[in-house]
Amino acid sequence: MLRRPLHTEKESDLKKIAKICEFEKQEESLVRDKIILGIRDRGLQEALLREADINLEKASNLCRAAEVSKQQVKLMREGKGNELNINKLKIGHSKKGTNSGSSENGHNDNYQCKKCGKTHAIRACPAYGLKCNQCGRFNHFKVGCKQARATQVGRWRKADKKGVNELDFNNERDEPEQAWFTNELTVRSIKSGALSKSWTHAIMLDNRLSVDFKIDTGADINVLPYNYYKTYFSRFSLKETNSVLIAYGGTKIETFGLGKLPFNYKICLSENAVPTVKPARRYASCIKEKLQAALKTLEDQTIISKVTRPTDWVNDIIIVEKKNGSIRICLNPSQLNKVIKREHHVIPTMEELRTNLAGKKVFSVLDMKDGFHQIPLDDESSYLCTFATPFGRYKYNRLPFGLSSSPEIFQRELERIFGDLEGVQVYFDDLIIAAEDEVTHDKIFSKVMDKASQYNVKFNYSKIQYKVGKVMYLGLIFNEQGVRPDSKQLEAIAKMPNPVNKKELQRFLGLVNYFHSFIPKLSELTNSLRLLLRTNQDWQWTNRQQTAVDQIKLKLINITTLKHFNPKENIVIQTDASNHGIGHKIRVISLLQNKIIRMNYYKFSFLGSLMY
């Protein structure tokens, strides 16, 4: 049996881990660094380190090219030709009459290569490891580029009539399917012949599209890549399924869809509730196209569905444009919120969350995918969330953003699932796992995954921060030493223009107040600004207000790390009061031989004045 090269083994293991827990934008660079540092060939390692702006794809291709070259040299020295065994299947001797061009020593010097357009020996393509000028990808020239050839979209690689004589380890995928990484050997495709042709069968889908399926007599169902669905069958709605798909080897196949918790939420209204009906807003044609596409996506995911019967409540919607040009639909149930009976579930404060992280060294943060939408509504409640659009009325089948009770219900349900796990804290759709060491962390993480599987909770892989010593959580950076705000957020506040009206001033003070624990004497600094927010106060921006804003921004830029509060340590509480507010400061003192060796601070202040 042919053993996979060492580089591919390591890359496979790293990708398997990354598939479960990604590191956002750092994932590719971390995997790349691990690969380069683990290379045994010092010459290759030095060559990679000399490359400017090397990425994971380029590093992997260069490593594979080096390994293939070494294997070729070894085969030529041993005189084994191109004989290749895979599970005792001998490959390499063509039938008489084919154009394989095998010579007496077993080497094929007349192979017509589709990657470079030239004739050469097998596994000796001059394009291997080089970049295409057409598409920017590796291992082929422009003459062999699939984009330039404009092949039929969705067509599976058509088998020719040669004998099986080559395995393709190229990272370019001809088929629209994911690559599977195993512990032994990664085989993405076999280039060729009667052998593979007998294992495919053309099936007509939707009476208009012929797709070559790979026949698997051991499979119980047929699967189709999601991009096929989006390209050809998007007019069909996806339905929820409870089936668990297991591939050969025990690997679970993830199907498309959102999580769905196994309990429904019922909206309770006050007895004097009077239904209201909001008409559909009118939009420009360019917005209507985006709105229709967004509605179609939500309907395919069963988050919303069409309403064809009369309803007492019809709400408004708000459209928010995303950075990529698409839109987000938000329910605007302003009248409905006035009569919803809230459960007033206790939401943890930032100080409570920070206190529970004291003494922790290893962290992970999990973000729930479309969090509110993972909680289904009962039938009656779904009709209360009906909204009007130019394309008809729809109702939410899942808990929508915008309901006054949504945050509390979501917090309650997540605490019901994960609240009994020690070392886990829940703040709406963000879960943080904190532990004193990696062993404890891994045990907690495993319990969280078991709970998520039990209750069908889905996490957003692109936002996972896994087993790190420093973690971003709720706009703050936590580590073993303490907590400090994210410098990017502080810089954004510092670059804000001066407020020109009361609304902008309220926004500025709200952002600053989020970091009040880090700014001493904040109530004193904001006093002149808060005076402008009085009901009968005219807007007059003077040097006094400008000086206050400049001082606040300077304080934000120079914020230091605050130590986690530990009730077992000796502390000193200092309080202060003035006509403009009340504040207090907690000093944490470490004692060694009755001497103060270090002091750390918690700083708090209250906006608002005692006297005007």
The per-residue pLDDT for range 127-164, each reduced to its tens digit, is: 777 778 777 777 887 777 876 554 333 333 333 433 33
340 lies in some domain: yes
User: 164: burial class by Cβ within 10 Å (0-12, 13-18, 19+)?
Assistant: buried
Asked if residue 493 and residue 462 are part of one domain, the reply reads: no
Asked if residue 342 and residue 292 are part of one domain, the reply reads: yes
Q: What is the pLDDT of residue 391?
A: 94
Asked if residue 461 and residue 351 are part of one domain, the reply reads: yes
65 lies in some domain: no
Asked if residue 462 and residue 336 are part of one domain, the reply reads: yes
- Contact of 31 with 56, CB cutoff 8 Å: yes
pLDDT higher for 150 or 208?
208
Range of the domain at 364: 285-480
User: 562: burial class by Cβ within 10 Å (0-12, 13-18, 19+)?
Assistant: buried
240 lies in some domain: no
- Tokens encoding 374: 């993972």
Asked if residue 534 and residue 499 are part of one domain, the reply reads: yes
What CA–CA distances, in Å, run from 172 to 114, 313, 331, 434, 480? 13, 52, 43, 39, 43
**Using CA atoms, how far apart are residues 560 and 152, in angstroms rounded to an integer?**
59
Asked if residue 539 and residue 463 are part of one domain, the reply reads: no
256 lies in some domain: no
Is residue 118 scored above 60 in pLDDT?
A: yes
CATH code at position 517: 3.30.70.270
Sign of CA dihedral 144, 146, 152, 157: positive
- Contact of 406 with 400, CB cutoff 8 Å: yes
- Domain end among 434, 455, 480: 480
Query: How many folded domains does the chain comprise?
Result: 3
Asked if residue 437 and residue 303 are part of one domain, the reply reads: yes
**Using CA atoms, how far apart are residues 288 and 153, in angstroms rounded to an integer?**
29
Q: Which residues contact 396 (CB under 8 A, 6 or more apart)?
A: 303, 304, 331, 377, 382, 385, 387
Asked if residue 473 and residue 385 are part of one domain, the reply reads: yes
Asked if residue 490 and residue 476 are part of one domain, the reply reads: no
Asked if residue 492 and residue 354 are part of one domain, the reply reads: no
Strand partners, 321: 327
Q: Could you report the per-residue pLDDT of 351-374, keeping only the tens digit for each?
A: 888 888 888 999 999 998 788 888
298 lies in some domain: yes
Asked if residue 455 and residue 336 are part of one domain, the reply reads: yes
- Give the confidence band of 2 by pLDDT, cuts at 50, 70, 90: very low
pTM above 0.85, yes or no: no
- Domain end among 480, 504, 521: 480
Q: What is the pLDDT of residue 96?
A: 41
Asked if residue 366 and residue 490 are part of one domain, the reply reads: no
**With pLDDT > 70 as the criterion, what percentage of the chain qualifies?**
68
515 lies in some domain: yes
